Structure 1
Amino acid sequence: MQTQLSEEARSIPGVDEAEDILRSCVHCGFCNATCPTYQVLGNELDGPRGRIYLIKQLLEGNSAGAKTLSHLDRCLTCRNCETTCPSGVRYHTLLDIGRAELERRTTRPVRERLVRAALRGIVPEPSRFGTLLKVGRAVRPLLPKKLQEKIPRSGKAASVRPPARHVRRVLMLEGCVQPSLAPNTNAAAARVLDRLGISVTPVHEAGCCGATEYHLNAQDDGLSRARRNIDAWWPHIEAGAEAIVLTASGCGAFVKEYGELLRRDEGYAEKARRVSALARDLVEVIAAEPLDALLSSGAPGSGAPANRLAVHCPCTLQHAQKLGGAVEAVLRRLGFDLTAVADGHLCCGSAGTYSITQPDLARTLRDQKLDALEAGHPDTIVTANIGCQTHLAGAGRTSVQHWIEVVDASLRQRTSTSIDPATQSQ
């Protein structure tokens, strides 16, 4: 695609990269065929090709207003389009650059500014988010149904984690909303890893990965959080931690990009590359281990009853991290019964804070996704990201859990009659 960037645009950080991406696009439109918002709305400007054109106009100096803002805001950043692009267009990178410039050049309505400021101030802060969630749960019955969907009922409480007792050690990001919304997820992950001879070293100074702020166009704030996490992890990395385990695929996708996002930061570039190289989604870690150790300790394959599961693979796992099918493969190795799910590549509509900033579209995509997931009549839907889990569960239909909780529960059920040293205090 030919471009004539304006002189003003030449001063934008990353503009050379944006120009290269624009020129790599051949405008074929294959991307629209896999774009969830284009499929729902049928508007060219609500598909990747149209949004690329809008960003091109923006960087060429054309006026930008509410229309451009609306179309770019409606993008889920699911990156499904990148999987079908024959030219390898790095759409998500171009979108980040375009959104940042658009935010600089436009003024949002007051309500939008307040909502986004609240999200940036609350979601990345576990204590603030946890306090607000408790208040919301207390008044939940008094709220309209649409608001009730955003406030999940109390989930399964976290159980005691096994002590660090193995030579092999990994770090684990606790996250920002997951400790309040699904406190048992990381505990379950630690217990399953313990059975595989891997201990989790807690690093409480590491908090939100930074994705929430970054994708709400507060990119500097998001990168500041990335630097704080690197500082918190670095002593443990130097001490020999073999991986940084992420149980939320959205966090995993972002942490794996630290090296790219901080490549121009002289103080952090090398450390960021090292952190990204060590970042592993939980399923990557478990898939690489001899799962016979789990089977012998009581996973479904050794005779335990298993629920019929439908797997929702988050966009951040299959499109960003290229790990589509990995969770399904592990669950099948462990003997779980999985249903077929049509259109598994399509987004559920969660997309970070998207379900709050674009509630109607998010609800439409959620209901379509649930119809596909429930077609095989599963007992439980499992996923790998807290955002997807909460969003899908908000419909109040089939139970939704993180897949590691289902594995852990099966193991604990099978070993409940014999005391395991790692679970004795639980």
Structure 2
Amino acid sequence: MAVSKNCVQCGKCLEVCPLFKVTGREELTPRAKFFLESLDPSAGLSEKDFKSLASMCLSCGRCEKNCPQHMSGPDLVSTLRSESKKFTQTCWDLWLSKPGFIWPLAAALSKFTPETLLEPVGSLKKRMEALFKKSPAPWVKLTPDIKFDERRVILFKGCVGTYARQDWVLKAEHLMDGAGLVRAGEPNFKCCGSSYGSAGLLSKQNSVRKANISEWKRLDFPLIIIFCTTCLKGLKEYSLSDFDGDEDSYNLWLSSLVPLSSLLLDADVKILENSPLQVVYHKPCHAPEPDYDQALVEAVVGDKLMPVKKDICCGFGGIMQLGAPDLSKQVGDYCINELTKSISPGAQILTGCSACVIQLTTLAKADFFTGHWLDILE
């Protein structure tokens, strides 16, 4: 790709790459990927090397934010993955395409899976428990005070909310209804497309984007309320071409994406007696600026909240769970250690990303509850 020729090898991506931070291996960095991709095939970089290279990216996007030329390592890796299909992509496609069948099946089978097996199978039991984990006793009661126009709304539940954590969906809908928001109907949304894109499954990504846009139009262009950071990112990344060049619809779509937490900042807060002494907020790599999830947690938790560390990746990485699970776990273990080294057992770790919840819950010790901020709400 011509874009890689513009990399000046300045190394700014090394400062923020989670893989480099944890492993010290420069061959895993965006700089190395852009350099290797720019080589002529005669230089000796084999197809196998490219396939290996394409699997070593968490798709956190930090490199693009720090790059003077805004070059994206995840975009490069997505393209490489799309050009070199692997068995892991087939498995990932199946996982995303059939969640109503595959996820409960995997959860059932995981009960008989020994943890001594190699990754990613070894941690399957913990991951499935994390995916379907139920909330502890809530300790916050919010009474929304939303001043909104008369435009109708719909809820984007996301894959995890739809197929595993319906309790999140019920709480989100309860907050919306309690605030007097008028729902436009029950949308039949697909995956946001983010996980397909990072895995190089670009045709599937295009397909779900088209389906979601069609559903939004069918319901007469309502506001879309979102409670997952990665879903918000995925929906924001829809392009003008996804709207067949219709700029009005495209701009209206972008202005219609509303984080649920942004509507709750002025809510009345009541802290219940069973609240923990300490709370940690994990800031997802894909958190927007401003991060309304963090602002809501700060407003609700108050002085129970520990200082927020903004430069730590959980290591989930989507298809990295299959392509390089040991690297994913290595980054995740570092994240957990950083988040918990200054807190006591019984503290709670909150975030606003479904993937972060799964990763951190899988790796955290039983002394700490890790969940979505919706988990603490009554």
TM-score (norm 1): 0.74
Give the C-alpha shift of residue 150 in structure 1: 2.5
Give the letter aligned to residue 366 of structure 1.
G
Tell me, which stretches of 5 or more residues in structure 1 are unaligned? 1-17, 158-165, 410-426
Give the C-alpha shift of residue 58 in structure 1: 6.5
The Cα offsets for residues 321-341 of structure 1, whole Å up to 9 and x where unpaired, read as 3344x3222222234421124
Report if aligned partners of 2:57, 2:317 keep a CA contact under 8 Å in 1. no
Give the C-alpha shift of residue 48 in structure 1: 1.2
Equivalent position to 1:122, from 73, 95, 110: 95
Give the letter aligned to residue 245 of structure 1.
I
Query: What residue number does 1:369 align with?
Result: 335
Equivalent position to 1:250, from 210, 230, 246: 230
The Cα offsets for residues 293-321 of structure 1, whole Å up to 9 and x where unpaired, read as x22xx433xx866432111111121xxx3
Give the letter aligned to residue 163 of structure 2.
S
Equivalent position to 2:242, from 239, 246, 262: 262
Give the C-alpha shift of residue 96 in structure 1: 3.0
Moved more, 70-79 or 198-207: 198-207
In 2, distance between residues paired with 1:199 and 1:372?
42
- Structure 1 residues 221 and 49: alpha-carbon distance in aligned structure 2, compared to 1, 3 A threshold: same
Query: What residue number does 2:297 align with?
Result: 331
- Structure 1 residues 328 and 214: alpha-carbon distance in aligned structure 2, compared to 1, 3 A threshold: closer
Give the C-alpha shift of residue 202 in structure 1: 4.7
Whether 1:311 and 2:288 are equivalent positions in the alignment is no
Matches within 5 A, 1:45-56: 45-56=27-38
Query: What residue number does 1:15 align with?
Result: none
Query: What residue number does 1:340 align with?
Result: 307
Matches within 5 A, 1:169-188: 169-188=152-171
Q: Aligned to 2:153, what secondary structure does the other structure show? A: strand
Matches within 5 A, 1:3-402: 18-19=1-2, 21-22=3-4, 24-57=6-39, 64-101=46-83, 103=84, 108=86, 113=87, 115-136=88-109, 139=112, 144=117, 145-152=122-129, 154-156=132-134, 167=150, 169-238=152-221, 241=222, 243-260=223-240, 262=242, 265-266=244-245, 271-287=249-265, 291=266, 294-295=267-268, 298-300=269-271, 306-307=275-276, 308-317=278-287, 321-324=288-291, 326-336=292-302, 337-342=304-309, 344-377=310-343, 379-397=347-365, 398-402=368-372
Report if aligned partners of 2:194, 2:233 keep a CA contact under 8 Å in 1. no
Q: Aligned to 2:13, what secondary structure does the other structure show? A: helix
Report if aligned partners of 1:382, 1:400 keep a CA contact under 8 Å in 2. yes
Give the C-alpha shift of residue 43 in structure 1: 2.8
In 2, distance between residues paired with 1:54 and 1:190?
48
Give the C-alpha shift of residue 275 in structure 1: 2.2
Give the letter aligned to residue 90 of structure 2.
A
**Bigger Cα Rg:** 1
Report if aligned partners of 1:171, 1:203 keep a CA contact under 8 Å in 2. yes
Give the C-alpha shift of residue 200 in structure 1: 4.3
TM-score (norm 2): 0.82
Report if aligned partners of 1:208, 1:225 keep a CA contact under 8 Å in 2. yes
Across the aligned residues of Structure 1 and Structure 2, the Cα RMSD in angstroms comes to 3.1
- Structure 1 residues 177 and 330: alpha-carbon distance in aligned structure 2, compared to 1, 3 A threshold: closer
Q: Aligned to 1:123, what secondary structure does the other structure show? A: helix
The count of corresponding residues between Structure 1 and Structure 2 is 356
Report if aligned partners of 1:213, 1:219 keep a CA contact under 8 Å in 2. yes
Q: Aligned to 2:350, what secondary structure does the other structure show? A: strand
- Structure 1 residues 260 and 353: alpha-carbon distance in aligned structure 2, compared to 1, 3 A threshold: farther
The Cα offsets for residues 159-184 of structure 1, whole Å up to 9 and x where unpaired, read as xxxxxxx9553211222233333221
- Structure 1 residues 216 and 87: alpha-carbon distance in aligned structure 2, compared to 1, 3 A threshold: closer
The Cα offsets for residues 264-299 of structure 1, whole Å up to 9 and x where unpaired, read as x45x77644432332233333434xxx1xx22xx43
Report if aligned partners of 2:111, 2:125 keep a CA contact under 8 Å in 1. no
- Structure 1 residues 225 and 270: alpha-carbon distance in aligned structure 2, compared to 1, 3 A threshold: farther
In 1, distance between residues paired with 2:362 and 2:21?
23
Give the C-alpha shift of residue 138 in structure 1: 5.0
In 1, distance between residues paired with 2:351 and 2:66?
23
Identity %: 21
In 2, distance between residues paired with 1:272 and 1:252?
15
